[in-house]
Structure 1
Amino acid sequence: MAKLITIVGGAGFIGRYVVQELAKRGIRLRVVVSDVHQASYLKPLGGVGQVALFAGDIRDKAMMHAACHEADGVINLVGILTEGAASFDDIHVMGARNVAEAAKAAGARALVHVSAIGANAESESDYARSKGEGEAAVRAAFPQATILRPSILFGPEDQFINRFAALIRGLPFAMPVVAPNTRFQPVHVLDVARAIVASVEAPESFGGKIFELGGPKSWSMRELLTWISAQTYYEKPLVDVPDGIAAKLAAFTGWLPGAPLTSDQWKMLQHDNVVAEGAAGLEAFGIRPAPLEAIAPAYLVRYRKQGRFNPGQNATQDPQLY
């Protein structure tokens, strides 16, 4: 019988690619999701009966033990960018501990925990602090866990490149740029998924280690927005927002639902989101990272007026959809 891998949070952005990659290998998957009906699109990614959906909450210890029962490997993909009904500590610390303890109790050979670049238990940012504390909780419960720290992810369903493309299209005159000099190292979601799969399949090679995953190039915020603007043919002026004004905006409006910038996000933007010098990365998995410029234009065409029927000035350079 094919081995069983439990994926906690498999209905998210990374999850669909992890499910797809593991399903190709004939592995049985138990995918823990908050809403089974909304996650039903995952089942056709595998063969009949290969992908089983399991309703569960990472904050519930008993649920995590049931979800990990008899699993050979466990993957935790759950994370939040803003607090709401659940806090950062609920998800990134308590939830991560619950999964790690459940994986240990189940006798799993491998545990892969997806964290984030910048995870630091001493950080002023609650997001980064909780990620750092979560890593420590995972290590305490399952010392041989593989911890992966990706930079910002890009892909057709991403919430970073797509978000800014929509903003650039929607704003009438100019695009404000917060933290214009902060640098990012966008990494393709499929590259991260393949690193996750390699980690869970070969704990003897990757267990007990931390890897920072970034793309082949780092970009400042201003460089990213300039590039996105050119790709969507909405080349509006970019206006840098002074740090003092951005900080006050985050402090006074960041608590509102759907706020463009929270105080915690502002704190995170004070630090570059790039792979640390000397850190092990995608090359350890034999993965050559895909550049943003080769992938993102194919899904950014949706933001152009008339979409792909708008040739623009770069018509001969438009990539094929894939």
Structure 2
Amino acid sequence: MPANIVTVFGASGFVGRHVVRELASRGWRVRAAVRRPANANYLRPLGKLGQVDIVQANVRYRPSISAALDGASAVVNLTGILANQGRNKFDAVHAAGARNVAEMATKAGITRIVHISAIGANANSESDYARSKAEGEEAFREYAPNAVILRPSIIFGPQDEFFNRFSSMAQLAPALPLIGGGKTRFQPVYVDDVADAVAIALSDDQYKGKTYELGGPEVMSFKELMQLMLKTIGRKRILAPLPFGMAGLMAQLARPSGWTPFFDAPITPDQVKLLKYDNVVGEAGDADGTIEDFGIRPETMEAILPTYLYRYRKAGQFSPETV
């Protein structure tokens, strides 16, 4: 095995497992830093025997970060949450956590650093998610100026929280909500393309200190994404426009503890705020490049969605569309 060790924070998440596999395939020794190592053993087979090591770390606790970085020559920060839960809040994970990783990595002498942010990161946003993401970016620019910052749009793939969530709803619900009328535009990017960008950015010095926005080849409205999803799973459902105010109220009422997942809102109040703004490459105007600058030709949704959304069809993998 090569001597280079890369510590990946947030390795057990949706994007993390794909990044671990891609880095391992490129010869890195991967140190997967996760909060619950016992629940992350599925990462080991993503590399050769002994190539993927799993260690305990929490970006909220600096000693665990220092231990995870010991002897590493590169670091990837993938930690992120979609909603506040317990002590894992946006400010603690996206802002303070990012600052901890950036500062500790610099103290360890590591200069190969990739940080995953998000399109729409804005220090002045009304959304806590977008604001905390922007604060995380600034922390890396301050403490680790060589870091490559990647801002993906919605990421889709086998374990995504977007198409899977709404496909699951479509199995039971007669109608799906179009928040704000479904006009918000997105540029979804395939998770393996994001993993490729991480690996390339980590290995090539030309990307150091720059910010890139990652989007797929298609820009679609929320309504068009729902139509594409329904077509893929072979179901017809009513797409009902829902004003932002009503959507925010419903999301707020559906979040108290004790509610079952069936009645849980498919979206949080903070995500309703995010949906007021397009999530498209180039909107911020302050990025240094796009996914094409990594030599990546991004995959289309039509090519990938059927490979994992088939399970939401009426007969699953045996549906006529799958055959």
TM, length-normalised to structure 1 = 0.93
* Correspondent of 1:112 among 101, 111, 114: 114
Which residues of structure 1 form unaligned runs of 5+?
none
* Correspondent of 2:296 among 283, 287, 298: 287
Q: Distance in 1 between matches of 2:243 and 2:6?
A: 48
SS of aligned partner of 2:3: coil
Query: In the alignment, which residue of structure 2 is the partner of 1:3?
Result: 4
Q: How many residues align?
A: 312
SS of aligned partner of 1:135: helix
Query: In the alignment, which residue of structure 2 is the partner of 1:168?
Result: 170
Q: Distance in 2 between matches of 1:253 and 1:159?
A: 18
Which residues of structure 2 form unaligned runs of 5+?
none
SS of aligned partner of 1:31: strand
Query: In the alignment, which residue of structure 1 is the partner of 2:312?
Result: 303
TM, length-normalised to structure 2 = 0.93
Matches within 5 A, 1:234-313: 234-254=235-255, 258-276=264-282, 279=287, 280-311=289-320
How far off is 1:254 after superposition? 4.6
How far off is 1:225 after superposition? 0.7
Q: Distance in 2 between matches of 1:119 and 1:298?
A: 30
Q: Distance in 2 between matches of 1:44 and 1:175?
A: 38
Query: In the alignment, which residue of structure 1 is the partner of 2:40?
Result: 39
Query: In the alignment, which residue of structure 2 is the partner of 1:126?
Result: 128
SS of aligned partner of 2:39: coil
How far off is 1:251 after superposition? 4.3
Matches within 5 A, 1:13-28: 13-28=14-29
Q: Distance in 1 between matches of 2:44 and 2:244?
A: 46
Query: In the alignment, which residue of structure 2 is the partner of 1:210?
Result: 211
SS of aligned partner of 1:65: helix
Task: Assess if the C-alpha contact under 8 Å between 1:65 and 1:105 holds in 2.
Answer: no
SS of aligned partner of 1:37: helix
How far off is 1:177 after superposition? 1.7
Query: In the alignment, which residue of structure 2 is the partner of 1:223?
Result: 224
State the AA in 2 paired with 1:167: M
Aligned-residue Cα RMSD (Å) equals 1.6
Query: In the alignment, which residue of structure 2 is the partner of 1:49?
Result: 50
State the AA in 2 paired with 1:126: D
Give identity over the alignment, percent. Answer: 48
Q: Distance in 1 between matches of 2:267 and 2:42?
A: 31
How far off is 1:195 after superposition? 0.3
Task: Assess if the C-alpha contact under 8 Å between 2:165 and 2:266 holds in 1.
Answer: no
Deviations 1:160-218 (A, max 9, x none): 011111111111x222221310111110000000000011111x211100000000001
Query: In the alignment, which residue of structure 1 is the partner of 2:73?
Result: 72
Deviations 1:257-290 (A, max 9, x none): 6443322111101001111156411111000010
* Correspondent of 2:199 among 193, 197, 202: 197
State the AA in 1 paired with 2:111: R
